[in-house]
Amino acid sequence: MILNDVHTGIRKNRRRRRVGRGPGSGHGKTCGRGHKGYFSRSGSRRRRGFEGGQMPLFRRVAKRGFNNRAFADRVVIVNIGQLDKAFEDGAEVTAESLAARGMIPSRFDILKVLGDGQLTKKLTVRAHRFSQSAEAGIVAAGGRYERVSVVTASEPDN
Protein backbone atom coordinates (compact mmCIF):
# COMPACT_ATOMS: atom_id res chain seq x y z
CA MET A 1 0.00 0.00 0.00
CA ILE A 2 1.33 3.41 -0.95
CA LEU A 3 0.04 6.12 1.37
CA ASN A 4 0.26 8.81 -1.30
CA ASP A 5 -2.17 6.91 -3.52
CA VAL A 6 -4.80 6.00 -0.93
CA HIS A 7 -7.12 8.91 -1.68
CA THR A 8 -6.35 9.50 -5.33
CA GLY A 9 -9.42 9.38 -7.51
CA ILE A 10 -11.83 9.66 -4.57
CA ARG A 11 -14.01 12.75 -4.59
CA LYS A 12 -16.18 13.57 -1.64
CA ASN A 13 -19.03 15.20 -3.56
CA ARG A 14 -19.61 13.61 -6.96
CA ARG A 15 -21.02 15.92 -9.62
CA ARG A 16 -24.58 15.11 -10.65
CA ARG A 17 -25.12 13.42 -14.01
CA ARG A 18 -26.47 15.87 -16.59
CA VAL A 19 -28.72 13.85 -18.86
CA GLY A 20 -30.47 14.68 -22.13
CA ARG A 21 -27.61 16.79 -23.55
CA GLY A 22 -27.16 15.00 -26.87
CA PRO A 23 -25.36 11.88 -28.11
CA GLY A 24 -21.87 13.25 -27.40
CA SER A 25 -22.52 13.32 -23.65
CA GLY A 26 -23.09 9.57 -23.42
CA HIS A 27 -26.40 10.22 -21.68
CA GLY A 28 -28.48 11.57 -24.53
CA LYS A 29 -31.79 10.39 -25.99
CA THR A 30 -33.06 7.90 -23.37
CA CYS A 31 -30.91 9.43 -20.61
CA GLY A 32 -29.71 6.08 -19.23
CA ARG A 33 -33.24 4.71 -18.75
CA GLY A 34 -33.21 2.28 -21.67
CA HIS A 35 -36.10 1.75 -24.10
CA LYS A 36 -39.72 1.35 -23.00
CA GLY A 37 -40.82 -0.37 -19.82
CA TYR A 38 -41.91 0.78 -16.40
CA PHE A 39 -38.59 2.35 -15.42
CA SER A 40 -38.35 4.44 -18.56
CA ARG A 41 -41.51 6.34 -17.59
CA SER A 42 -41.70 9.31 -15.29
CA GLY A 43 -42.93 8.55 -11.79
CA SER A 44 -41.41 5.08 -11.82
CA ARG A 45 -39.68 3.82 -8.73
CA ARG A 46 -39.18 0.59 -6.79
CA ARG A 47 -41.42 0.54 -3.78
CA ARG A 48 -39.85 0.24 -0.35
CA GLY A 49 -39.13 -3.38 0.55
CA PHE A 50 -39.31 -4.63 -3.05
CA GLU A 51 -37.03 -7.63 -3.56
CA GLY A 52 -37.32 -8.23 -7.28
CA GLY A 53 -40.46 -10.34 -7.09
CA GLN A 54 -39.17 -12.54 -4.27
CA MET A 55 -41.49 -12.75 -1.27
CA PRO A 56 -40.45 -9.65 0.72
CA LEU A 57 -39.03 -9.90 4.22
CA PHE A 58 -41.94 -8.08 5.84
CA ARG A 59 -44.32 -10.72 4.43
CA ARG A 60 -42.07 -13.65 5.33
CA VAL A 61 -41.73 -12.70 9.00
CA ALA A 62 -44.64 -13.65 11.26
CA LYS A 63 -46.59 -10.72 12.63
CA ARG A 64 -48.84 -12.57 15.04
CA GLY A 65 -48.31 -13.81 18.54
CA PHE A 66 -47.63 -12.44 21.96
CA ASN A 67 -44.45 -11.15 23.53
CA ASN A 68 -44.26 -10.57 27.26
CA ARG A 69 -41.40 -8.06 27.02
CA ALA A 70 -43.67 -5.05 27.54
CA PHE A 71 -45.15 -6.56 30.71
CA ALA A 72 -42.04 -8.20 32.17
CA ASP A 73 -40.53 -6.83 35.38
CA ARG A 74 -37.58 -4.48 34.93
CA VAL A 75 -34.80 -5.86 37.14
CA VAL A 76 -31.95 -3.56 38.20
CA ILE A 77 -28.77 -5.16 39.54
CA VAL A 78 -26.16 -3.86 41.96
CA ASN A 79 -23.01 -5.70 43.03
CA ILE A 80 -21.71 -5.76 46.60
CA GLY A 81 -18.40 -4.38 45.34
CA GLN A 82 -20.24 -1.23 44.23
CA LEU A 83 -21.93 -0.97 47.64
CA ASP A 84 -18.53 -1.17 49.34
CA LYS A 85 -17.28 1.84 47.37
CA ALA A 86 -20.44 3.94 47.67
CA PHE A 87 -21.47 3.51 51.32
CA GLU A 88 -19.70 4.02 54.63
CA ASP A 89 -19.56 1.48 57.45
CA GLY A 90 -22.90 0.92 59.26
CA ALA A 91 -25.02 2.52 56.51
CA GLU A 92 -28.46 1.35 55.45
CA VAL A 93 -28.72 0.53 51.75
CA THR A 94 -32.16 0.95 50.18
CA ALA A 95 -33.46 1.58 46.67
CA GLU A 96 -33.92 5.26 47.54
CA SER A 97 -30.34 5.66 48.79
CA LEU A 98 -28.99 3.93 45.67
CA ALA A 99 -31.08 6.18 43.39
CA ALA A 100 -29.91 9.26 45.31
CA ARG A 101 -26.28 8.28 44.58
CA GLY A 102 -27.11 7.65 40.89
CA MET A 103 -26.28 3.93 41.04
CA ILE A 104 -29.67 2.80 39.72
CA PRO A 105 -32.32 4.43 37.50
CA SER A 106 -35.40 5.94 39.09
CA ARG A 107 -37.84 3.60 37.28
CA PHE A 108 -37.59 -0.14 37.88
CA ASP A 109 -39.64 -2.98 39.36
CA ILE A 110 -37.13 -5.21 41.14
CA LEU A 111 -33.76 -4.50 42.77
CA LYS A 112 -31.39 -7.47 42.87
CA VAL A 113 -28.06 -7.56 44.69
CA LEU A 114 -25.32 -9.75 43.21
CA GLY A 115 -22.13 -10.96 44.87
CA ASP A 116 -19.49 -9.63 42.48
CA GLY A 117 -16.68 -7.84 44.30
CA GLN A 118 -15.61 -7.73 47.95
CA LEU A 119 -17.61 -6.21 50.79
CA THR A 120 -15.54 -5.02 53.76
CA LYS A 121 -18.10 -2.80 55.53
CA LYS A 122 -20.97 -3.72 57.82
CA LEU A 123 -24.09 -2.73 55.87
CA THR A 124 -27.83 -3.30 56.20
CA VAL A 125 -29.07 -4.01 52.67
CA ARG A 126 -32.76 -3.93 51.78
CA ALA A 127 -33.67 -5.26 48.32
CA HIS A 128 -36.18 -7.46 46.53
CA ARG A 129 -33.75 -10.24 45.61
CA PHE A 130 -30.28 -11.45 46.59
CA SER A 131 -27.98 -13.98 44.97
CA GLN A 132 -26.51 -16.64 47.27
CA SER A 133 -23.03 -15.17 46.90
CA ALA A 134 -24.36 -11.71 47.80
CA GLU A 135 -26.04 -13.05 50.93
CA ALA A 136 -22.81 -14.81 51.94
CA GLY A 137 -20.71 -11.68 51.25
CA ILE A 138 -22.97 -9.40 53.31
CA VAL A 139 -23.09 -11.81 56.27
CA ALA A 140 -19.32 -12.42 56.11
CA ALA A 141 -18.72 -8.66 56.40
CA GLY A 142 -20.94 -8.57 59.53
CA GLY A 143 -23.92 -6.94 57.85
CA ARG A 144 -27.56 -7.90 57.38
CA TYR A 145 -29.77 -8.35 54.36
CA GLU A 146 -33.56 -7.93 54.30
CA ARG A 147 -35.91 -8.94 51.50
CA VAL A 148 -38.48 -6.31 50.56
CA SER A 149 -41.76 -7.54 49.09
CA VAL A 150 -42.52 -6.63 45.48
CA VAL A 151 -45.73 -4.68 44.96
CA THR A 152 -47.10 -5.02 41.43
CA ALA A 153 -50.02 -3.22 39.80
CA SER A 154 -51.97 -6.50 39.42
CA GLU A 155 -52.10 -7.12 43.18
CA PRO A 156 -55.03 -5.45 44.97
CA ASP A 157 -54.31 -3.17 47.94
CA ASN A 158 -56.14 -4.28 51.11
Rg of the chain over Cα atoms, rounded to whole angstroms, equals 32
The torsion angles phi and psi of 66, rounded to 5 degrees, stand at -125, 140
CB atoms within 10 A of CB 130: 21
Alpha carbons within 13 angstroms on the beta-carbon side of residue 122 total: 2
Say whether pLDDT at 86 is over 70.
yes
CA distance 131 to 127: 11
pLDDT digits (tens, 9 = 90+) for 40-85: 999 999 899 999 999 999 999 988 888 888 899 999 999 999 999 9
Q: What's the average model confidence in pLDDT over 87-91?
A: 95
How do 124-127 and 75-79 pair as beta strands? unpaired
Confidence of residue 152 (pLDDT cuts 50, 70, 90): low
pLDDT at 158: 52
pLDDT digits (tens, 9 = 90+) for 12-44: 898 899 999 999 999 999 999 999 999 999 999
CA-to-CA separations, 140 to 28, 84, 135, in angstroms, rounded: 85, 13, 9
Tell me the whole-structure pTM to 2 decimals.
Answer: 0.57
Confidence of residue 5 (pLDDT cuts 50, 70, 90): confident
pLDDT at 154: 55
pLDDT digits (tens, 9 = 90+) for 112-140: 999 999 999 999 999 999 999 999 999 99
